[in-house]
Amino acid sequence: MNPCRRAFDSLNYRRGHNFEARKLAVIRLRRPNAGVLASVAIALTGVLIGAISSYVSELGAVASATKISALNAPLRDDRLFDMAYHARAKIVRRVLASADFATHDLQRLAPPQIMSPLAPTGRKPKIIIIFDDMGIDKRAYENTVALPGPLTLSFLPYANDVAQLAAAARKAGRTVMLHLPMEPEGEADPGPSALTTKMTGVAFLDALMWNLERFDGYVAVNNHMGSKLTADEAAMKTVLAYLKQEGVFFLDSVTTGDTKVRAAAARVGVDVFSRDVFIDAEAGDKTAIIKQLRLVERIARHTGYAVAIAHPRKETLEVLGPWLTSAPERGFELAPVTALVDIRRQEKYQALAVKAPELRL
């Protein structure tokens, strides 16, 4: 790793690690026993044969990669796309490093490198805002749903009445995600039925299914905490393989500089996405939120899009309301998280077009 990149990631991670430690769950629900039969059923589904073999009868933290069969195929050939991947990361790192903001380290990490070319002429840069931790505070939920513009709401599966809240959000025109609790480094509590590296295969799949079956209608999943679990490639292969079968994609919240999400995705054969900016890593600081939003805008202008994560806190909503209203006037297009699928498709097409040989008659 480039020494400058390592130093930059380290600086940003320290703030993020402290931020994750403050995200404590406040609800405790009894986890239903999904049962061994359900886990066995999963094991019988194609690609998950290899995934479960890496976990059953041993701890996820020490699962041997040599025991993975179906998921141990060679990495898919994404060399052309990797060029775009690294190119966008370079631009984003430059934006973050050159930001004339005392709070630029709130970014926590340079994002994993998913590249989008500059927005084509005539198209506005896209900004995707995702609200995490939805469903715990009902008043905050109502205030968030009332905000202007296309927004994406990511619900904690253990929240009370989460199915009804998610359905109401969809009815109000909001895009819905599932905020999957995962094991963090340190002592922070990710909440009940969180996925951990100490689980056996059956327990891991039991917890995964319980979370994913709490409500429906979500288009994607992102990690709640998870700095430890997302650094475990075997665990993430299992998660991504299951999501592949369900037809939903994963967005890495990037809570660690050691994330293995992209490596796991390459093994499983799926596209994954990641956030660029945490808008409100410092709770209660409106000035910091405004500065983070400026970074979001700069990244979007330089790369064609930006992915930002926020939380339904009072001060965040107070700042974001006016900002969302005025964003289109400043030349931005607010978009749901599903826009990333189209962006990725365009990235791949353009990467291939750049390297395609000239056609000869």
pTM: 0.76
Banded pLDDT at 267 (limits 50, 70, 90): very high
On the question of pLDDT at 16 being above 70, the answer is no
List, in order, residues 6 or more apart from 93 with CB less than 8 Å away.
5, 8, 110
Q: Which amino acid is at 297?
A: E
Residue 99: the pLDDT is: 63
Higher pLDDT pick, 17 / 322: 322
Higher pLDDT pick, 14 / 68: 14
Measured CA to CA, the distance from residue 326 to residue 184 in angstroms comes to: 36
The alpha-carbon radius of gyration of the chain (Å, integer) is 20
Residue 239: the pLDDT is: 98
Q: Which amino acid is at 30?
A: R
Cα dihedral 263, 21, 97, 1 sign: negative
Contact 232, 264 (CB under 8 A): no
Return the axis-axis angle of helices 3-21 and 79-98, rounded to nearest 10°.
70
User: Under CATH, what is the fold of the domain 3-355?
Assistant: TIM Barrel (3.20.20)
Taking residues 284-293, report their average pLDDT.
94
Residue 25: the pLDDT is: 35
Residue 341: the pLDDT is: 95
List, in order, residues 6 or more apart from 52 with CB less than 8 Å away.
39, 42, 43, 201, 205, 238
Residue 173: the pLDDT is: 97
Domain boundaries, the chain: 3-355
Considering the chain, what percentage of its residues have pLDDT values greater than 70?
67
Exposure string for 237-248, b = 16+ CB within 10 A, e = fewer = bbbbbbbbeeee
Q: What does the H/E/C string look like for the chain?
A: CCHHHHHHHHHHHHHHHHHHHCCCCCCCCCCCCCCHHHHHHHHCCCCHHHHHHCCCCCCHHHCCHHHCCCCCCCCCCCHHHHHHHHHHHHHHHHHHHHCCCCCHHHHCCCCCCCCCCCCCCCCCCEEEEEEEEECCCHHHHHHHHCCCCCCEEEECCCCCCHHHHHHHHHHCCCEEEEEEEECCCCCCCCCCCCECCCCCHHHHHHHHHHHHCCCCCCCEEEEEECCCHHHCHHHHHHHHHHHHHHCCEEEECCCCCCCCHHHHHHHHCCCEEECCEECCCCCCCHHHHHHHHHHHHHHHHHHCEEEEEECCCHHHHHHHHHHHHHCHHHCCEEECCCHHHHHHHHHHHHHHHHHCCCCCC
Banded pLDDT at 94 (limits 50, 70, 90): confident
Taking residues 12-28, report their average pLDDT.
42
- Give residue-wise pLDDT tens across range 289-347: 999 999 999 999 999 999 999 999 999 999 999 999 999 999 999 999 999 999 988 88
Measured CA to CA, the distance from residue 361 to residue 351 in angstroms comes to: 23
The mean predicted confidence, pLDDT, of the chain is 78
